Amino acid sequence: MPLAALVTLLLSLAAALAEQESMFQAMADQFSADLKAHNSSKIAAWYSERRMFFGANLLPGPDSVIQNNRNDVAKYWNQIGIDAINIKIRKTSSAPGFGAGAWVEESDAQIVTSSIPPRSITVDRAVIWRSDGGKLRIEEELLNDMARCTRHPEGYITCP
């Protein structure tokens, strides 16, 4: 392959990746707005109806919450009482191992809550998105309160 063709290919791949990251950041911004509005139906609509898994350790106490129903996830988010949230996408990629049309998002979030007690939470967020009814919806979401967890140099996270 001639050098000029290789450079053109690399530039177009870089542009496509930037566009993809921009699309996921726009979705994260809208998701954040819906969480702050405490609108259960809008929050639930972000999650797949077919099959879903949600795991989080954001509430005070030692236990993680696991949900498999999008309406229960919406109740969980409203229970936290989000006053402010900022999600920053770190990385997105297609995820053929999860089936056709699947994407993986890795992001960081800062959440300020009005739950008892009110707190500021630094969150590591991992999401699997899948096309569902012509729209990307969350099929799996894992959230870790980084005050309780450790990110290891190899990239994995452990939580008590």
Tens of pLDDT, residue by residue over 32-65, are: 999 999 999 999 999 988 778 888 888 766 667 8
Q: Tens of pLDDT along 131-158?
A: 877 888 999 998 888 877 788 888 777 7
Predicted TM-score (pTM) above 0.75:
yes
d(C-alpha 6, C-alpha 131), whole Å: 32
Is the model's pLDDT at 79 over the cut of 50?
A: yes
Tokens 């350790």 belong to 57
- Domain borders along the chain are 12-158
- Of the chain, the percentage scoring pLDDT greater than 70 comes to 85
End-to-end CA distance of the chain, in Å?
51
CATH 3.10.450.50: does it fit domain 12-158?
yes
Three-state DSSP class for residue 38:
coil
